[in-house]
Chains A and B, each alone.
Chain A
Amino acid sequence: MEGSPEQTLARVADALEGLLTGSIPDKLEYSGASGTDVENLCAAVNQLIDMQAEAREFMLSLSEGRLDADAPRGNFLISPFKQMQSNLRHLVWQTGRIAQGDLNQHVDFLGEFSDSFNSMIASLREKRAIEEALEASEKRLKDITSALGEGVYMLDSEGQLVFLNPAAERMLGWSEEELLGKTVHGIIHSRKPDGSRYPDDDCLALQTLESGMIVHVQDDIFIRKDDSVLPVSFISTPILEYGIVSGAVVAFHDITTRKNFQEALARANALLEQQATTDALTGIANRRRFDDALIKEISRAGRHSEPLSVVMLDIDHFKAVNDTYGHHVGDLVLTKLAQLVSALLRDEDLFARWGGEEFVVLLPQTPLAAGAEMAERLRRAVENDGFSSVDKLTCSFGVTSLGPDDDEKSLMERTDQALYKAKESGRNCVTAEECY
């Protein structure tokens, strides 16, 4: 800086005025005599300009959130802001700790900010305490429901799962985490026992949400995660809040064992029923089944004014077959005859062993003439069949039809009379007996 001291002072004054108005003036250049007060003054002003420039840059960084900005040292203008920088960086660290779940953080000596921050922490602590209480409550619920051994799940008002106990997880193969928030009907209750789709509207568990009523279902199925079927009985109970359905609890029980037992029982009963109504030798119906069917058919024929015919047949000279060939061959003859006749009858006809070598055929919706024709077809079929076990086999046939005053006794007596007449007529023939 060249010039008189007055000129130098004027530049110093300009520089200071610039600093006071917030600008960063150019530094003063001094080239006069050294060691003078003017030189010292210029050096001091230049230092002030440097400090102002540093302070501005540092404060700008802080204002833009760059908390890691390098803080100059030995600059008294910046000291309070370095303290603020320290405070803010500590808050960043504390916030990170809070994000990691550390709610023991506490902000000290930062006025209203401390109050606000500490209130937030207190609020978070309360929230955590509530969450922990809820978790504990949910754990207790799971423990209790697991101890019961029942599968339990809970739906919200939209049918979305909010709870699944460990027993249900085991039975269904799904974890609670996998099903949370999902509409479980379409997952575990997607089809009916017959394999058809299970519409939402038909789902009794979901209907609880609509009706607010308790629903019991004794026999249904849920679908496991591996797509296998789980036979269940369940009870769906609504959850009411202020009288409004807010969800439902479904408790279900694995009834596989019960179902298996029921099915085994049904099979056993069916076998017993079959054994009770089937002739053990020939496999056709026995007399008991014929008697039951006769009563029903007589009733039906009367109700609908339909004809009903009965054919009774007897193997001619069957005693001779047994005597000549032995009872074993006699049994074979009876079995073969049963197969031969059965093959010629309609599905609705009933062929039964009446006893010994006598058989009966019940012919619904068949008048006497048609019954006699059928008997004749059977007679010819027997006569023409080789019956390889014996030389020749023939049968005699008696036929009659239901009269208006007939009951099962009179009908069978007349059929027996017709058969007797066929025997009397030389056997191997058909005799039809009109009703009186």
Chain B
Amino acid sequence: MFREERDQSQFEWKDLGDITVGRPNLGPTTSVAVYRLMQYTMRDVLIKDYGVERADALLFEAGKVAGKALCRNLLDTKLEPEAFISDLSEKLIGLSVGVLRVETADLDKMEFILTVAEDLDCSGLPVSDETVCNYDEGFIAGILEEFSGIEFNVREVDCWASGERICRFEARAA
């Protein structure tokens, strides 16, 4: 199930398991440090074995799978686009993923500029003059694609790691 060979994603929401049953004492949350420990060690190994570009692409792809799954299972895709974004913002705060805000939304062109403050992946990282939220890029692309049925290109243009206080993403219909 988890370790089958595959040439396309097989992830399903139920793969996350029954956390209530599994963690009756420790509960459904963990520390941000532990989350980042997993992501950045994973990134470390991916870069070592596949190089930066490939590692970025893999993180993006994983984020996209996650975004689609989250959209299907936690979000109301019947809402109008702007109401959907408001709903998404509330859900991400509720999940302690980050504070999603909309700077611009052009529904005719399906172009958005979104920012995420207190981002789970990067806020507080050492400044390295790099954008590092490849997983977030994929995550946002996956959500928008699942909602609209249109493929999205998402690019992070500002990041805590590049010296900013927020992450800024430009999302455009492909």
A residues at B contact (CB < 8 Å): 71, 73-76, 79-80, 82-83, 86-87, 89-90, 93-94, 97, 102, 104-106, 108-109
Contact = CB atoms under 8 A, between A and B. Distances in A.
Nearest to A105: B86
A235 B138 CA distance: 71
Contacts of A102: 82-83, 86
Interface in B33-83: 82-83
B148 to A, nearest CB: 18
A83 B165 contact: yes
Interface string B83-118: 100110010010000010111110000000101011
Given A102-B82, A108-B93, A90 B163 contact: no
A106 B94 CA distance: 13
B111 to A, nearest CB: 13
28 contacts: A73-B157, A73-B162, A74-B129, A74-B163, A75-B163, A76-B127, A79-B165, A80-B165, A82-B164, A86-B101, A86-B115, A86-B168, A87-B101, A89-B103, A90-B101, A90-B102, A93-B102, A93-B103, A93-B105, A94-B102, A102-B82, A102-B86, A104-B87, A106-B90, A108-B93, A108-B99, A109-B99, A109-B118
A106 B91 CA distance: 12
CB-CB nearest 7 A-B residue pairs: A90-B101, A89-B103, A83-B165, A86-B115, A93-B102, A79-B165, A83-B166
A75 B163 CA distance: 7
Contacts of B86: 97, 102, 104-106
A73 B127 CA distance: 13
B158 interface: yes
Q: Which of A76, A82, A86 has the most CB of B within 10 A?
A: A86
Contacts of B115: 86, 90
B165 A82 contact: yes
B99 to A, nearest CB: 6
A322 to B, nearest CB: 101
A90 B103 contact: yes
Interface size class of B (residues with CB under 8 A): 20 to 34
B54 to A, nearest CB: 26
A89 B114 CA distance: 10
A83 B111 CA distance: 20
Contacts of B158: 71, 73, 82
A93 B162 contact: no
B165 A74 contact: no
A94 B100 CA distance: 12
Contacts of A108: 93, 99
B159 to A, nearest CB: 10
Contacts of B90: 106
A76 B127 CA distance: 10
B116 to A, nearest CB: 9
Contacts of A83: 117, 164-166
B127 to A, nearest CB: 8
Nearest to B118: A109
A97 B103 contact: no
A82 B90 CA distance: 22
A106 B57 CA distance: 34
A415 B113 CA distance: 117
Contacts of A82: 158, 164-166
B118 to A, nearest CB: 8
A109 B127 CA distance: 24
A110 to B, nearest CB: 10
B99 A79 contact: no
Contact of A86 (B82, B117, B118, B163): B117
A93 B162 CA distance: 26
A94 B101 CA distance: 9
A91 to B, nearest CB: 9
B31 to A, nearest CB: 20
B25 to A, nearest CB: 30
A83 B160 CA distance: 11
Contact of A109 (B113, B117, B164): B117
A113 to B, nearest CB: 13
A280 B103 CA distance: 98
Interface string B110-141: 00010101100000000101000000000000
Nearest to B116: A86
Contacts of B163: 73-76, 79
Given A87-B101, A89-B103, A90-B115, A74 B162 contact: yes
Given A75-B163, A93-B101, A108-B93, 10 more contacts: A73-B163, A76-B163, A82-B158, A82-B165, A87-B101, A90-B115, A93-B102, A104-B86, A104-B87, A109-B99
A93 B83 CA distance: 12
A108 B116 CA distance: 12
Contacts of A97: 82, 86
Contacts of B166: 82-83, 86
Contacts of A94: 102
Q: Which of B103, B104, B105, B158 has the most CB of A within 10 A?
A: B103
